[in-house]
Structure formats: C-alpha cells, structure tokens
Amino acid sequence: TAAVAGYPQLISSANMGGRLLWGPIGDAAGCGRTLCLVGIALPACLLAGMPLATRALAGGADPETALTLFRAATCVNVGAYAGVPVLLAPATADLFGSADAAAIYQRIGATITFASPLGAAVCTRLRDGAYAQHAAALTELCDEATFAATFGAPPAALEQLLASKAVTLPLLLHIAPEGTPDPTPLLYDGAFCALGSGALLACACKGAAFALPRSYGGSRRDEISRR
C-alpha cells in the first residue's frame, strides 16, 4: 500500500528533523536537560505508543487509526533517537571536561558499535519467542486431528514444525476456529517493552550522571569562561 511504501521516507524525515531540532534545543536548555528529555520520549513511545497501536490493531480497531498511531509513535521515537549523536559529544565535554572528552567519546563510540548488534539480537530473540508463544496458543485452539492432517505431525511436535517453517501463524489461523484474532501485530511488543525499559534505565543513569559533582566545578561553558 501507499502507507507502507512511504514509511521509509517518513522514518528518514523524522531522523533528519530530529538531528536539526535537538542541537538548538541542547544549546538553549543544556545537554543534560535535553538528553533527559530525549530519554523520556524514547521509553514513552516504546512502552506506550507503539504497543498501544499494535494491541488496538490486534483487538479489531480500525487499521487506519492503528497505523496512524504507530506512525506517530515511530516518528517521535526516531526523532528522539536522532538527537543522541548530536548531543553526545557536547554532553561528554560537559560531564568530564574538554581535556578528556575526546578519549572518553571514543570509548562511548566503541560501546555503541557493540550495542547495535546486541540490541538487534535481543529484539530478534524476543520476536522469535513471541512467535512460538502465539503459535502454541493457536495450536491449543485447533482440533488435534485437523492439526495432524494439515501438518503431518501431532501438536506435540510444534517446536520442530516451527523450526522447519512447516507451521506458521497464517497456517494455524487457517485451521483455528472462526473469529480467532490474528496475533501477528503483537509479535514485537516484547521487544518494544525491552527497548523502552532499557531507554528508561539509560535516562535515569544520565540524570544521575549530570547530578554528580564535577571535578572542574561546572559545565564546559564555565570551564571555557575561566580560561
């Protein structure tokens, strides 16, 4: 559909808008406050907005309404995340002083490089777990004889059938009782909650870091003004 085709462009626009927006906000409000604002926006979208949209769709809500909510939450989420690269370097200097900022920033960059594949692996694992869980729930609703006739194995062999891709959620829905809701929109809710919880913890850590006393007695601007 047109909405799906335009989704990558929407994400790209949100990313570009976030990169342009957070810099001036950080200059006006300070990196610490701005990073905390970014940290609040991320878990708010991941823990509330996006799961709300998927659950509404799974519950039979109007698809256009659910899609609009999901797109809005995604735009805010991507726009907030786009502020992190913009604010990270000046925030590092504010926290640790300009003398050590470059070395510390390089270490943070190495951590981000490690975190990206780790986050992707966690999301994939959670999605696969949710898929197996929903498949098991659908299997319980199906007639055992119909299941065995359709897939050539009893329901007890569900794990092996899922691993071989012989059983999928659409195929299970085909033999499930009429009116069984499609759980496909819910597959990534666990990943959203995990990422949102991590973002919430990161926000708390950032707030605590900026609340600590600084060895040079102030912000990067204060340090520069004293020179």
What are the pLDDT digits (tens) for 77-115? 888 888 888 888 888 888 888 888 888 888 888 888 888
Average pLDDT over residues 180-209: 87
Exposure string of 194-217, with b = 16+ CB inside 10 Å and e = fewer, is: bbbebbbebbeebeeebeeeeeee
- Position 154 scores a pLDDT of 95
CA dihedral 36, 40, 42, 43 (to 10 degrees): 130
- Position 214 scores a pLDDT of 65
Q: With cut-offs at 50, 70 and 90, classify the pLDDT of residue 164.
A: very high
Q: With cut-offs at 50, 70 and 90, classify the pLDDT of residue 216.
A: low
Q: With cut-offs at 50, 70 and 90, classify the pLDDT of residue 220.
A: very low
Which of 198, 204, 35 minimizes the C-alpha distance to 118?
198
In 10 A of CB 24, how many CB atoms? 11
- Position 62 scores a pLDDT of 85
DSSP 8-state code for residue 148: H
- Position 1 scores a pLDDT of 59
Q: What amino acid occupies position 202?
A: A
Greatest mean pLDDT among 11-15, 49-53, 204-208 lies in 11-15
Backbone angles phi, psi at 176, to 5 degrees: -75, 160
In 10 A of CB 154, how many CB atoms? 12
- The better pLDDT of the pair 9, 207 is held by 9
> Rounded to a whole number, what is the distance in angstroms from the first to the last CA of the chain?
59
- The better pLDDT of the pair 46, 160 is held by 160
Instruction: Judge whether residue 15 has pLDDT over 60.
Output: yes
Question: In whole angstroms, what is the distance from residue 224 CA to residue 227 CA?
Answer: 5
Burial of 40 (0-12, 13-18, 19+ CB in 10 A): middle
- CB of 57 within 8 A of CB of 63? yes
